[in-house]
Amino acid sequence: MFHYQAYGLTIQSVFLLNELTKSKNTADIYIEKGKVKLPQLEPTSINRQGKEAHFGGNTQEAYLRWHGIATLLAKNGDTIIVDPDSDDIDPQRLSLYILSEALGLILYQRGLFLLHASAVKIGEQVVIFAGCPGAGKSTTAAAFAKLGYTVVSDDMVAIDLNSGDKPMVYPAFPQIKIWPPTVEGLGYDISTLPTLYPGSRKRVIRKPENFPTQPFPLAHIFFLEDGRDFKVTPMAGNDAFLTLARFFPLPSQLLAGKTLEHYFQQCLQLINQVELWKIEKPKDFRILNKLITWVEQKIETSHQSAQDVYLLQQ
């Protein structure tokens, strides 16, 4: 039995999950091996390694089927049951499916707001980078990591909207997944970076040392888009709402009726609490320095403004 930490929770697992940091705390979530009887399933738009996820069940008892990999049941916000298709499946490959949408379903059941995005800690705040596949979320996060910043989430960001005036972001686990061209473009030594799993072209950056476990306030959300030149535009109103709502990382079948209404309310709350920006940039690694400098200056300006408000209130 293994005990790990992720998203502010302790996970007890029968499976080895090397991506996670170890924990000695009492378990909040249990990952077990068992047989899963499937309900009727529907295809989803979620795709990993060329495999399409199929979904069934409901919010509190959600089933994911990955053909050739495993069936996973996430229930009641505290239990994942994993039914592998084969005992011979590589543990590192299986963990990829456990720690993505299946764990996301548990976080969703626990009331957290989820985004398909990357998150970087700057000072004592967090900024989020979202975008369509290929927009550069992980590349941007890896560029920040190269400069010593902590990437608190690479693929799925969990946000607590019930923590007071500021939304709080829970650190996931210390891993960034990048393709070989990004490794080269950012100046990493590919020989020092392991593959995501045996046979995968993707490499992983792991920095478990001093990885935080406590949540941090969310300062900004940046939506990355391709563009001819580097350009940053503030977002508000319908544009911000519709863009934010696109990046739900779980099966869309979960969002219907009252759950869809609640999700829209959460989106509205978030755009009223943090600043949203659109960043247009060409696919040029040299532009990342400009992007990072702009974000650093924006964080510094926001921090100074908050201090000024605090002093005025005294």
CATH of the domain at 147: 3.40.50
Residue 66, pLDDT > 50, answer yes
Judgement on whether residues 156 and 245 belong to the same structural domain of the protein: yes
Residue 312, pLDDT > 60, answer no
Indicate the residue among 109, 128, 149 that finishes a domain: 109
Judgement on whether residues 147 and 162 belong to the same structural domain of the protein: yes
pLDDT classification of 49: cutoffs 50, 70, 90: confident
pLDDT classification of 311: cutoffs 50, 70, 90: very low
Judgement on whether residues 20 and 165 belong to the same structural domain of the protein: no
Residue 206, pLDDT > 50, answer yes
- Count: domains in the chain: 2
Judgement on whether residues 7 and 79 belong to the same structural domain of the protein: yes
Mean pLDDT of 88-115: 96
Residue 239, helix vs strand vs coil: helix
Longest dimension (CA), the chain: 64
Judgement on whether residues 279 and 163 belong to the same structural domain of the protein: yes
Judgement on whether residues 60 and 121 belong to the same structural domain of the protein: no
Range list of H helices, the chain: 91-97, 103-109, 137-146, 180-185, 237-245, 258-273, 287-313
pLDDT classification of 313: cutoffs 50, 70, 90: very low
Identify whether the C-beta of residue 107 lies closer than 8 Å to the C-beta of residue 59: no
Indicate the residue among 109, 127, 154 that finishes a domain: 109
Judgement on whether residues 299 and 156 belong to the same structural domain of the protein: yes
Range list of H helices, 214-286: 237-245, 258-273
Judgement on whether residues 47 and 142 belong to the same structural domain of the protein: no
Mean pLDDT of 66-89: 97
Structural domain containing residue 143: 113-313
Judgement on whether residues 157 and 88 belong to the same structural domain of the protein: no
Judgement on whether residues 123 and 233 belong to the same structural domain of the protein: yes
**pLDDT on residue 301:** 65
Indicate the residue among 109, 127, 143 that finishes a domain: 109
Q: What CA–CA distances, in Å, run from 45 to 14, 178, 248, 252?
A: 29, 22, 11, 8
Judgement on whether residues 133 and 275 belong to the same structural domain of the protein: yes
Judgement on whether residues 141 and 209 belong to the same structural domain of the protein: yes
